Amino acid sequence: MRKTIIAGNWKMNLSSAAAIELATAIRNGIPGSISPQTEVLLCAPALFLESLAASVAGNSKISIASQNAAAWKEGAYTGEISAFQLASSGIKTTLLGHSERRSLFGETDEVLKTKVDLALEAGIRPVFCCGEPKEVREAGTHEDLVGSQIQNALFHLNAENFSKLVIAYEPVWAIGTGLTASAQQAQDMHAFIRNLIADKYGKELADGISILYGGSMKASNASELLSMPDVDGGLIGGASLVADEFLKIVECA
């Protein structure tokens, strides 16, 4: 049975002290009744990863993840942090290919292919983000684009490695805009992604992959989105910065 993952993406927000306060409040607020299949992730600024991991230690339902990893293993890449360095700090998961990384930092499918390979080699689980901008949705070619993002960056993997991935579908027009994909739009895209994976790797493997929805998910819309059969969790930006709001989403899982 695949996992439900509720992941907060804090982006470049919070001071060190505020980050520890928020992580501690979330850690302590996770309901004891949470399903064993549910996992909470906090994707935090790199600088705080180790101290945050210490703050949430002792609660196996929650862990700290990176928002990015370098496209190189090691060397003269000033300011970058490699997947191997993340692993050496005890980090087990990283976002890769968030739309802000694609649009602001020029990450292409080709770069992401390398990043995915390096993360897996380091023993880090990638949460691979994909999604279409507004004009692509309006043109009706969103499945073509998301399909190509997945095929180009991930379909070189063997089945064993592919089964370690988490996918996050995040329509760019819904990220940080207050606009949310309808539950049906999310379900349709998630089912499309799962079918694509099934065609390449088989139904059993596809059924085990968690596909998260991201894009203005909040307490008021989480339960409808999460009730969709192919929506296996959320990647949450703004609403993950307020403990009570984020915990309400966790309760919907």
**Amino acid (1-letter code) at residue 10:** W
Among the listed residues 100, 107, 132, 170, the single catalytic one is 170
Measured from the Cβ of residue 105, the count of other Cβ atoms closer than 10 Å reads 10
Q: Give the shortest CB-96-to-ligand PEP separation in angstroms.
A: 12
CA dist 231 and 244 (Å) reads 22
For ligand PEP, give the closer residue by CB, 124 or 219: 219
Contact 111, 77 (CB under 8 A): no
Q: Answer yes or no: 142 catalytic.
A: no
Q: Which one-letter DSSP state was computed for residue 9?
A: E
Q: Which one-letter DSSP state was computed for residue 2?
A: P
Residue with CB nearest ligand PEP?
A: 237
Helix (H, G, I), strand (E, B) or coil at 223: helix
Q: Give the shortest CB-238-to-ligand PEP separation in angstroms.
A: 4
Q: Answer yes or no: 138 catalytic.
A: no
Contact 44, 64 (CB under 8 A): yes
Among the listed residues 39, 98, 107, 142, the single catalytic one is 98
For ligand PEP, give the closer residue by CB, 201 or 213: 213
Q: Give the shortest CB-251-to-ligand PEP separation in angstroms.
A: 17
For ligand PEP, give the closer residue by CB, 147 or 237: 237
CA dist 220 and 231 (Å) reads 16
Strands 166-169 and 211-214: parallel
Site of interaction with ligand PEP (CB under 6 A): 9, 170, 175-176, 214-217, 235-239
Q: Give the shortest CB-67-to-ligand PEP separation in angstroms.
A: 9
For ligand PEP, give the closer residue by CB, 165 or 217: 217
Which active-site residues does the annotation give?
Answer: 98, 170
